[in-house]
Every structure is written in C-alpha cells, then in structure tokens.
Chains A and B, each alone.
Chain A
Amino acid sequence: RKEVEQDPGPFNVPEGATVAFNCTYSNSASQSFFWYRQDCRKEPKLLMSVYSSGNEDGRFTAQLNRASQYISLLIRDSKLSDSATYLCVVSPSGGYNKLIFGAGTRLAVHP
C-alpha cells in the first residue's frame, strides 16, 4: 500500500464549478502536510500548506483530519488556469522536510 493515496482522476469540470480532491496517508507520525500543483512537464510547486484547523487561500481551502489520516482540497469557481495535477504531500517527523508524494489527481477545467 502506498504511503499517500489519491484518486488519480481525471476530473473534468466546467469553468465555475467547485471540485474537491481527497487524499489519505498511512503514517500516523506524519508531521506536515501540503498540496502541490504540477503543470504538464513542469516541476511541482507548493500550492498551500495544510493545518488541522483548516486553511483558506482565495478560492482554495485545505482541510486535515489527523484522526482519519485524511486531507482534502476544495477549489471553488474553477478557472481554466486551474487545469493541472494536484499532488497530496506529507512530511514525516524528523529534522528535515523529506516529502512523500501521492500519485496526483489530474484536473481539467473546460470552457
């Protein structure tokens, strides 16, 4: 079983739609949580960190449920430019930020 599991998609949604991605992780000792965005043939870039209290950045909302080992990302009012692969990432406890990636969920927003 992979340490971080995501629905691979693709999610095909019209502009303006709300879309939610989910992710589960297996290591209960994981300390930090992130969503990264990766455009086709580009490097991953940090979208947002995820906190137990939930956090919002504009149209993006991330939630963490430590008890269920579950992370979510909600995108409201989807734009064409949101089309990308969204990677769920966890970092185990320790002195450096080693990142464990899920396989990614592909989002395609169409007009």
Chain B
Amino acid sequence: GAGVSQSPRYKVAKRGQDVALRCDPISGHVSLFWYQQALGQGPEFLTYFQNEAQLDKSGLPSDRFFAERPEGSVSTLKIQRTQQEDSAVYLCASSSLPGQGNTEAFFGQGTRLTVV
C-alpha cells in the first residue's frame, strides 16, 4: 500500500527482553518520526530522522532506546532490556520536508508493545 507500514502490529515481551520495531515510511518522504503513546495520553515525540541522519533524539526516554535509519528509508526502533513502563503504542510518521510540498505527517497504525 501507499501508507506508512509498521511491524509487528502487536508485541508481547518479557521484562528484560530486547525488541525491534520496524517502520516503512511513504516512499520519497525525507522526514521520519517515532512517537510513544501511553494509554489515555497523546503521542509523545521520541526521535526524528532526515533521510539517514538522526537530527533529534531528545525524546528518547533512556539509553535503552535506540533508533536507526541506515539507508534513509526503513527505520528500526530498538528497546533493550524492556521494562513494564515501556508498554505503549509506538507510532511512526513520515512527511515531506517544509518547503517541499504538503508536509502533513502520515502515521502508521503503530506497534502495541506489552511488557510482562
């Protein structure tokens, strides 16, 4: 399809396990964002990529969180040694750059992570 695709849709991890969440942005979108949405809250910014460069990682909650986008398209968010407080929906969004047409951010359906 033409939208943002995330996988897996659901992930159950045991506490202490490492997880990797994948995002396929819309083809040609330079900007890619990761957000974390806890139950009953709005999405919270985690990190931003412009092509393969990670320009803002100010929202990553700890050094257990790591994101990459090595070829400027697909991105992976990795969480090491998962904790119960990491349970949330992880949303990926992509957009064009400001000044390069419509800059609306399109979101994927998210990965629902449950740490048990």
- Which residues in A have some Cβ–Cβ distance to B below 8 Å? 4, 8, 42-46, 87, 95-104
Q: A43 and B98 in contact (CB under 8 A), knowing A96-B31, A98-B45?
A: no
Once the chains bind, are B31 and A102 in contact (CB under 8 Å)? no
20 A-B pairs whose Cβ atoms sit less than 8 Å apart in the complex: A43-B107, A43-B109, A43-B110, A44-B91, A46-B104, A87-B43, A95-B98, A96-B31, A96-B97, A97-B31, A98-B33, A98-B48, A98-B56, A99-B33, A99-B93, A99-B105, A101-B42, A101-B43, A102-B42, A103-B41
CB contacts (< 8 Å) of A101 on chain B: these are 35, 42-44
Look across to chain A and name the residue whose beta carbon is closest to the beta carbon of B4.
A43
Query: Is B95 an interface residue when CB atoms closer than 8 A count as contact?
Result: yes
CB contacts (< 8 Å) of B93 on chain A: these are 99
Q: Is the interface of A mostly helix, strand, loop or mixed?
A: loop
Query: Is B75 an interface residue when CB atoms closer than 8 A count as contact?
Result: no
| Apart from the given pairs A46-B105, A97-B95, A103-B42, 20 other A-B contacts in the complex at a CB distance below 8 Å | A8-B40, A43-B91, A43-B107, A43-B109, A44-B91, A44-B107, A45-B107, A46-B104, A87-B42, A87-B43, A95-B98, A96-B48, A98-B48, A98-B56, A99-B45, A99-B105, A100-B45, A101-B35, A101-B43, A101-B44
Query: Is B87 an interface residue when CB atoms closer than 8 A count as contact?
Result: no
B3 CB to nearest chain A CB (Å): 9
Once the chains bind, are A96 and B43 in contact (CB under 8 Å)? no
Q: Which of B84-116 contact A (CB under 8 A)?
A: 91, 93, 95, 97-98, 103-105, 107-110
The 8 A CB mask of B21-64 against A (1 = contact, 0 = none) is 00000000001010100001111110010100001100000000
CB contacts (< 8 Å) of B103 on chain A: these are 97
- When chains A and B are docked, how far (Å) is the Cα of A8 from the Cα of B42? 11
CB contacts (< 8 Å) of B108 on chain A: these are 43
